[in-house]
Structures are given as C-alpha cells and as structure tokens.
Amino acid sequence: MLRLGEKQILYCISREEFGVYLAEEGWAPEKEKVLLPIKQVPEDLKIGDALEVFVYKDSKDRIISTVNEPFITTARPEILKIADTGKFGAFVDCGLERDILLPFKEQTHRVKKGDEVLVALYVDKSSRLCTTMKVYDHLIKTSPYKRDDVVTGFVYDISERFGVYVAVDGIYQGRIPPREYDDSLEYGQRVTARVSNVLKDGKMDLSLKKKAYKQMDDDAEALLSLLKSNGGRLELNDSSSPEDIRKITRMSKNAFKRAVGHLLKEEKIRFDRQGIIVKEDYR
C-alpha cells in the first residue's frame, strides 16, 4: 500500500521512457503503483531492485515518488520555513518540488514568508498532504531528561493561562509555566531552559530561571540596576500588586520580595512611604 508522506521501500516493476514504476510487490494494480520520474532514476536500477523513496503528490495532484530527502515526513514534526502565503493559508518549504499547504485553520498564529515554524505533516480528508502548527499531540511525552537538566527547545505556542509551550529538541513536550518566564518570549524563539519538574506522564515543566538561591542574586542585581536607572527610586513595596510589580520589574511578587530582602540585608536600599530608595553610597 502506498503511504503518502512517508519514506518507503518499493520495488521497480516496469520501465518507461518517462521513468519507472514502483510498487510494494512485483505485480500491483494501477492504484498501487507510483512513478519515479526519469531524472531521478538511478542509472543501475533494474527491474526487481528495491529503492527507498518518499511518496507525495505533484502540482497536478498525482501521486509521485522522489529519491530526494524531504525536510519532513509524517513520522515527526520539524522546524521549517514559510515559503509563501496565499488565499487558503501559507506554504511550507518541505524540500520537495512542491511546497506543502499550511491551512489558516492549522495555524496557531498568523505567519509570513520567511518565518520558521514547527509543523507536523498529515494527510487531510481529501487525501492531500498538509502541515499543521498544532503539534502538541505529535510530540513525545517521555524524554531522557531529568530535573535540573539544561535543555534547548523551540517555542511553538503561547497561552496566557498555561504558559509557553516548547518542543525540547524539536520532539519532546515541554512547558514553561507563567511564573517561570517574562513577557519577552515569542513564537519561533529558541530557548535554553532548566527542567524544573518531570510530571508523572513524562512531560516536562521548564524554567528560564536559575535555582532560587542563584536567581535571587541575579534578581537583586537587576532590581538595583533598575532603581539606579530610575533616579534611585521605585514606587513599589510589599503591598504592591503582582501585576504592578511584574509590569515594572518583570519579576513575580515572590521574586521581587526575595530581591528586596537581599538588598535590605546588604543595606543597599531603604523604604519610605512611597517605595524603595537606593542608599546614597550605592547610587
């Protein structure tokens, strides 16, 4: 059986002027044969020889095969470039003579030519190859990583409620909860993160922050620098809302309180009625 979007071992069963026909067996009905164009036929290929090919559809919607290596198969998602956009969606460069459609309904956000996107390849209801950016169910849940390992990944989705979804190594499911990142992350960004937790189902929670005691030093230094650049004062204190603190400092309220405590202990800041002030010796 011919399988669209997959690499298959097929056998040469006949030769024509325009190419050779391949099939799974020595004889096959017309619908189970696929053409390999003459320009791709190896010179030494003989009737009965096996050949690994990728099966897809050409610009005239005919099933065809190629010995060229595609950038993606249905086996796993890949990070690919948007070749163009059109009336029905975008087109992804898959390394074939024909770019593959990324329908609007399969986009998690609008894309433009040149963007890098993580996509999975699938066969739609019309038996055509398409791509989708909704790759959550295509990623592997269990990974070889454990807590505190440092990993790299690709940001493929962002949810205000649940956080930033990252494909670790392009294939494993990872998520950065809202408390573990700031607002600077974007779709298509490559990130380096620490595994903060491995859930029972194997999925990973990630963090862009260091361990608490290391992060506190960095946060304290960042807060002091922010104070200095703001004339030595910030109108924030323990009773400020988490939203105001995050907006001004890009820290969670807990991280802010730890940084403030650290700076108070080092006697670099003080409080007054309006907020935090840098002591004169540290301005």
Task: Choose which CATH entry (2.40.50.140, 1.10.3720.10, 3.40.30.10, 2.60.120.260) describes domain 139-207.
Answer: 2.40.50.140
Does the pTM exceed 0.75? no
The confidence score (pLDDT) of residue 273 equals 75
> What pLDDT does 254 receive?
79
Would the CATH topology of 78-136 be identical to that of 212-282? Answer: no
Domain limits of the chain? 7-66, 78-136, 139-207, 212-282
For domain 212-282, the CATH class is mainly alpha
| pLDDT at 74 (0 to 100) | 95
Q: How are beta strands 116-123 and 150-159 bridged, if at all? A: unpaired
pLDDT reported for residue 26: 64
Q: Which CATH class is domain 7-66?
A: mainly beta
> Are 152 and 145 within 8 A, CB to CB?
no
Q: Residues of the chain whose pLDDT is less than 50? A: none
Per-residue pLDDT, 168: 97
Give the pLDDT of residue 219. 80
> What integer pLDDT is reported at residue 222 of this predicted model?
86
pLDDT of residue 27: 64
The pLDDT value recorded for residue 210 is 63
What would you measure as the largest C-alpha separation in the chain, in angstroms?
89
| Architecture per CATH, 78-136 | Beta Barrel (2.40)
